[in-house]
Structure 1
């Protein structure tokens, strides 16, 4: 008789079903938390222009190759290297407005939680795995915004877990992973991290085999060589990789963009505590992880401390990679010990009612999504400048606009050419961003005056805390509009 009863040893299917239900519950909890704070997913100003670019690609059926969204760099080479993510965001927006965007982002992040808990529960007790997954999800919460990088989160978990598993089992890397990398290359520029992760997994293999299996090593080398080749299967070919390196080596805009800033413990207290706890645990437990995985840990920590936007590399991937060592060296925490134990009442229920539970979860998610659409959400005016733009339209403000960086996305979305916006990975270089930053310094008034004349600025849309506001007053510009989020200045002509 199939199922769990009395002291009978649970079947493999029962164990898998219990794991699946636990992982599904982790995904549901994650989705519920995200929907409860839906507007937080729309807090990034770049969400606006990513959606607009996707909508334009859907309308024109072409991929952009030059800038058409700013007037300062109009016609300069620019590629939508994250085109597939932008198209997905645009489809979600056209289907359900901002609610559709939130639902799509929530689904992807919930999938990431499911996959993370699934890989962790392969080695750790399910309750420990989902608890750890939810803690990790909380730690990387700052990156949960409706932007292209969220589509790569499930991919990077599967990629990392699959390659390190192949190394641990002393097997060749699965070729289907190359298709995953190709998808990644069309979703976001971080696909080059895939090369690095593959290299660390290869080092882990070398540590285990000590070069005793040349044929297997050759397969790993061939896989590594194929990685950049399959990454070229995108509309822009080598240009997508080159665009990535312009940021990786630190262009002039990087120091001024918040997400590219180094880790600051005073601003990320929760993450600091987690780092301290993690390293305290590693020191007192004397966990043996091998030099290859130790290097991987150091690498992900370095990237995170250098640029806070990459916090997920450390908090998401390191636990997935080290779970096997924790389980082997601390059997009390292992999934193997849990699987050998008698199932408690809840776990027996999960196993016996697996199909009904999964169906119930599916129905619950559909109903929750339907209910969510009845409560419209929208980005804050901190990025939308909704009322300010309405004023500008009503009063027919025209001419070249000088805008604060955080309003660049909404301007693109509304068809207004920008002075500067969030595409600084490829544009606004050669001293432009540095000069724009200097206009807000204490001695920036003459620089600002020169910029206003050089670009024949007709009006300015600034955030309420823009440091250049006093300069506009001193230069004799008229404050035409102001609210808690935005200020508009026009020339006194």
Structure 2
């Protein structure tokens, strides 16, 4: 018998209709999404804390102006001419368009819109299996657990896609149906937005296993359609300006990229630094063990796979947070009546739910006016700027005023702003493809206790004309000791060293 947990419930004799059910569900989903948007607007500058925010906008602007897609590095002098592709080109163009329209306010507002859409979709799919109040509360918690990855980078455009992709594939498997073909254009879009599109292949494979576990090879025709869908996934992802190179680039980080060991977001999960995430993981594990919920071996493997990604690289915590509850919600709603959406539809609306259902149109109109007004006010009034820890605003103004020239030796976190301002970098955030073959390891070793001779070698090898360092850069004492170098500028976040004349 085919399970239909995700389908629209049959109206019960208790008095409220399918329309009332959907209206209440929709308003709860909108409420949690708007609440998340409000918190993001309140702390909008937090979305521009990453040094990569700068160069993503610049790459998008350059693609728009040149109408060509880069194939070699032109932004650094240490890797100039090396193969490099803008595999996230579409997301970069979207950010560039937002920046062209309204500066960093536009970039921030676009980012907030994508996150809000993600939260709404997550609540919507969860509320298909869990009653609206439970879906509201769970989405509220999950939306704050993903805060560490919420920044103005192309990844944010993929969040709504990965929620839809996962929910629809596992729903098709649960219903013992073929995967929806309309998901393939969505995958193509994903492949042009961010390199994580290869996770789409893996998610589809897990959903296929879930179907296999349900049908036990009794429906070979259906299984064949799933296999065909799986074969089409890599084919449609080739529909991008770089073809197979976009797929191959995704493996450069997964296998042997030397930069991984030095970048915070690629470090293993550390409970001491992420106590909220640790609490969520322990609570989830406790709930699964105590409740003895039956989820089947394919979904158990899916849970373990996402847990492995989280523990290996903390940047992938969002996959666990978003996808595991999404995939397990159907079984939880089916096995526990007190959280079940179907059980809820057979009962009576409470006072709040009756109010929401009867005033649906007026509430929806008010929400629409509120959203449009908030966006307009934010765009015209707010003056959001990237973090001063990445902008080096005063230092770059000093460099321009004093005509500092030659190659700059820069701290990693200033690479993005240098690219944005048209200054070729020593190193920057494009380490997934560049600054390899020992360069990253050697550069990072210059900050170690014995790194002074290596630093001197690099200054000579690359004909460094000046240095732009963050105030917490461990190489600053070495520069202070170097013969022929002096501090020319410093502020709260930056220090500039120049050669003695």
TM-score, normalised with respect to structure 2: 0.96
SS at the partner of 1:481?
A: strand
Q: How many residues align?
A: 487
Give the whole-Å Cα distance in 1 for the aligned partners of 2:382 and 2:146.
26
For 2:432, the equivalent position in structure 1 comes to 425
Give the whole-Å Cα distance in 1 for the aligned partners of 2:259 and 2:146.
24
Is 1:285 the counterpart of 2:291? The answer is yes
Alignment check: 8 A CA contact 1:99 1:376 kept: yes
Instruction: Please point out which of 438, 443, 456 is paired with 2:445.
Output: 438
Cα-to-partner distance string for 1:204-248 (whole Å, 9 max, x where unaligned): 001000111110000000000000000000000000001111112
Give the whole-Å Cα distance in 2 for the aligned partners of 1:215 and 1:416.
58
Instruction: Please point out which of 80, 86, 97 is paired with 1:80.
Output: 86
Is 1:478 the counterpart of 2:486? The answer is yes
Alignment check: 8 A CA contact 1:65 1:77 kept: yes
Unmatched segments (≥5 aa) in structure 1: 1-6
* CA drift at 1:353: 2.1
For 2:495, the equivalent position in structure 1 comes to 487
Alignment check: 8 A CA contact 1:79 1:236 kept: yes
Instruction: Please point out which of 124, 129, 135 is paired with 1:129.
Output: 135
Give the whole-Å Cα distance in 2 for the aligned partners of 1:136 and 1:436.
38
For 1:16, the equivalent position in structure 2 comes to 22
Q: CA RMSD in A?
A: 0.9
Instruction: Please point out which of 342, 345, 349 is paired with 1:339.
Output: 345
* CA drift at 1:349: 2.2
Give the whole-Å Cα distance in 2 for the aligned partners of 1:366 and 1:492.
56
SS at the partner of 1:253?
A: helix
For 1:456, the equivalent position in structure 2 comes to 463
Is 1:95 the counterpart of 2:101? The answer is yes
* CA drift at 1:479: 0.3
For 1:138, the equivalent position in structure 2 comes to 144
Is 1:469 the counterpart of 2:469? The answer is no
Give the whole-Å Cα distance in 1 for the aligned partners of 2:460 and 2:203.
49
Give the whole-Å Cα distance in 2 for the aligned partners of 1:344 and 1:287.
28
Map 1:26-65 onto structure 2 (within 5 A): 26-65=32-71
For 2:114, the equivalent position in structure 1 comes to 108
For 1:392, the equivalent position in structure 2 comes to 399
Give the whole-Å Cα distance in 2 for the aligned partners of 1:41 and 1:375.
14
For 2:170, the equivalent position in structure 1 comes to 164
SS at the partner of 1:488?
A: strand
* CA drift at 1:330: 0.4
For 1:401, the equivalent position in structure 2 comes to 408
* CA drift at 1:327: 0.7
Alignment check: 8 A CA contact 2:91 2:192 kept: yes
Give the whole-Å Cα distance in 2 for the aligned partners of 1:341 and 1:94.
52
Alignment check: 8 A CA contact 1:123 1:324 kept: yes
Give the whole-Å Cα distance in 1 for the aligned partners of 2:431 and 2:306.
24
Residues 33-42 or 347-356, more deviating: 347-356
* CA drift at 1:290: 0.2
Alignment check: 8 A CA contact 1:403 1:420 kept: yes
Instruction: Please point out which of 219, 222, 236 is paired with 1:216.
Output: 222
Alignment check: 8 A CA contact 2:14 2:347 kept: no
Is 1:308 the counterpart of 2:298? The answer is no
For 1:4, the equivalent position in structure 2 comes to none
SS at the partner of 2:258?
A: coil
Alignment check: 8 A CA contact 2:72 2:84 kept: yes
* CA drift at 1:379: 1.2
Is 1:226 the counterpart of 2:232? The answer is yes
Give the whole-Å Cα distance in 2 for the aligned partners of 1:337 and 1:284.
22
For 1:3, the equivalent position in structure 2 comes to none
Give the whole-Å Cα distance in 1 for the aligned partners of 2:57 and 2:320.
29
Unmatched segments (≥5 aa) in structure 2: 1-12
For 1:349, the equivalent position in structure 2 comes to 355
* CA drift at 1:8: 5.0
Alignment check: 8 A CA contact 2:14 2:346 kept: no
Alignment check: 8 A CA contact 1:9 1:340 kept: no
Give the whole-Å Cα distance in 1 for the aligned partners of 2:497 and 2:201.
48
Alignment check: 8 A CA contact 1:481 1:487 kept: yes
* CA drift at 1:271: 0.4
Is 1:377 the counterpart of 2:412? The answer is no
SS at the partner of 1:401?
A: strand
Cα-to-partner distance string for 1:229-277 (whole Å, 9 max, x where unaligned): 0000000000000111111213011111111111011111110111111
Give the whole-Å Cα distance in 1 for the aligned partners of 2:383 and 2:369.
22
* CA drift at 1:52: 0.2
SS at the partner of 1:489?
A: strand
Residues 353-362 or 68-77, more deviating: 353-362
Instruction: Please point out which of 252, 269, 272 is paired with 2:275.
Output: 269
* CA drift at 1:170: 0.3
* CA drift at 1:433: 0.4
SS at the partner of 1:65?
A: coil
Give the whole-Å Cα distance in 2 for the aligned partners of 1:188 and 1:483.
36
For 2:7, the equivalent position in structure 1 comes to none
